[in-house]
Every structure is written in C-alpha cells, then in structure tokens.
Amino acid sequence: MIQRELGTSGLKVPVICVGGNVYGWTLPEADSIRQLDAAVEAGLNFIDTADMYSRWVPGHTGGESETIIGKWFAKSGKRKEVILATKVGLEMGEGKKGLKPAYIRQAVEDSLRRLQTDYIDLYQSHRDDPETPLEETLGAFDALIKEGKVRHVGASNYSGARLTEALETSKKNGFASYVSLQPHYNLVERREFESDLLPVVEKYRLGVIPYFALAAGFLTGKYRGKEDAAKAKRGMLVEKYLNDWGFGVVRALEEIAKAQKSTPSRVALAWLIAQSGVTAPIASATDAEHLTDLVEATKLKLDAATIDKLNAVSAPQTLAKA
C-alpha cells in the first residue's frame, strides 16, 4: 500500500483514508466492525471520524461512530495498527460546541472514553471558532500534546486567511501547530480549495485529507436525476450537481473507467490522489464493493492526458456557468 507523510507530522498514512461517518448511521455496528477488520487487513489503516457523528440521525446524540470504533479496538486489539483521526467543535448538546479550552478538555476526554484508547493520533478542529481567540484554542491543543493524549492536531473547514493566522499564532507562541487540513474538495468542488487553501498548505507544508471525496456519492454515477436523490439518505447533498455540468463530469468518469476497466469511483479518487498538496482523500464505504473501490483506487495511475481531460470537464468556471 502506497503511503505518504501527513504534512510534517512524521505519520506515514495510506493514500486513502477510511471515513467513519457512516458507522452507526448507514452502516450498522456489526457491519462497521467487519469493515474495519477488512480495511486494516487491506492496508487502509487511516481512519477518520468525529465526536458528533452521527448526531443528525433521529434518536442519536453524537458519539455513535467513535463508540463503534472503540468497541472494535477492544475486540480486535488493533489500536496500535491504526492511525486514528477524530474531530472536535461541532455541537454535541447544549453548551457543548466550539473550541474554548475548557470544552476541548471535556470533549477529548469524552472521545478517548468512547474510543477506548488513551491517545488520538490526529485531533482536528472540526470548524473554525471565531468567538475564541486562536491563542486559547492552540494553547489547549498544545497542552494535550504535551500530556500525550493527542499526538498531532489538524484543522478542518478553515478559510485560507484563518488557517494562516492559526499557523502564525502557533509559531509566535511556541505552540504545537496544525499539521493537516481537512477541506471539502473533489472533482465537483474545486474552486475554494485550489484558489484559497492550496497556496497556504503548500507554503506551510500541511497534509491534506479532503472529505466528501466522492461528492456524497455523486461521482460514483449512481445519481441519474432528482428521483434517485430523493430516495437516498444523503440525496440532498448532491442536488446542486444534478445539472448538465455535473452529469458531464460523471460521463467523463464513466468513459475513463470503461477504458481503464475500472469504476467511476476509483477514477475520481485516483484524480484526487494525483492533485497537488493532497495526502489522502477521505471516502466512506457501506459495503464490500465500496471498500474494494477504495483499495483499488490506490493502485490506479492516471496518465497526464486523462488528468487533463478531467481537469477540463470539471473546471470551476464551468460550474459558474451551469
């Protein structure tokens, strides 16, 4: 399995990160545990989750994904084989949100308990908290690293300006610095990352682990119209792509997949793996076939002409005209 270094962290990670957002949501607990076994066996030992997964499901309170992963650690004994990433900051109940030091301290203890581990490899700010001074947030993360509860910290959903400010704040105060960024980036979501964030991650040598690598399933080709979206649990997330431009991207993926004897999912992930700055796209799987796509995507090499074709059909300015 091909590995890359996650920014300046020293962590060697596979070029695909398994998304844990589906655990306990669209993938039941028993199936999630089987998938975790299969993923690690296949060399995909980088797992990303968050404390609030899957709070949006009726009857859930958050922590469901972490709890399942924790049960798997206890059952399998594979904690040391896994690079574990989780996140803090989104709402977990009244008064439980943001990046204030006291809440970070409470949240990390809750995550460690659910995950049944005494350390987190990559602890990420799920979203910028403009109401809390960066010095306070980064100071709290620095303390957790010194205590050994967290190995490295990363950012998610930051603007380029705020990410730069956070990195300079760490440098100024001698705090541990963000080593990675988790942005929304894929073939149909290019503009923000490429124009605003890529210059920052390249300047500061951050690792990049994009989420929604398959655009909530749109890039797999399974959505052919609004009726398909209406039937899916995540259908509302793909509605903005259901137009001539979006379907043009999918057609190109299908043409390339046919020529490569591959699948649109693998081609979309291989394109993302090949992009400047990207360390490991995050993609979730809900069955064995999906997991196979993740594994095989790490082996698929796209030539320059193919990448140019995908770049052209998915160009951000095309989206603006759609």
Give the tens place of pLDDT for each residue, 98-111.
999 999 999 999 99
* Lowest mean pLDDT, pick from 38-52, 177-191, 211-225, 302-316: 211-225
Q: What ranges do the domains of the chain cover?
A: 3-217+273-301
Residue-by-residue DSSP string for 16-54: SEEE-TTBTTTB-HHHHHHHHHHHHHTT--EEE--TTTT
Q: Is the bond preceding residue 54 a cis peptide, omega within 30 degrees?
A: yes
pLDDT at residue number 233? 62
Residue 174's pLDDT band (cuts 50, 70, 90): very high
Amino acid (1-letter code) at residue 263: T
pLDDT at residue number 321? 40
pLDDT at residue number 229? 61
DSSP state, residue 302: -
Residues 12, 4 contacting (CB under 8 angstroms)? yes
pLDDT at residue number 317? 54
Phi, psi dihedral angles at 89 (to 5 degrees) = 135, -35
Question: Which one of the listed residues 23, 53, 185, 204 is annotated catalytic?
Answer: 53
pLDDT in tens, 180-196: 999 999 999 999 999 99
pTM score, whole prediction = 0.95
Q: Is 158 a catalytic residue?
A: no
pLDDT at residue number 318? 46
Residues 26, 233 contacting (CB under 8 angstroms)? yes
Phi, psi dihedral angles at 148 (to 5 degrees) = 85, 5
pLDDT at residue number 225? 73
Please state which architecture CATH assigns to domain 3-217+273-301. Answer: Alpha-Beta Barrel (3.20)
Residues 19, 211 contacting (CB under 8 angstroms)? yes
The residue among 107, 184, 97, 173 whose CA lies nearest residue 142 is 173
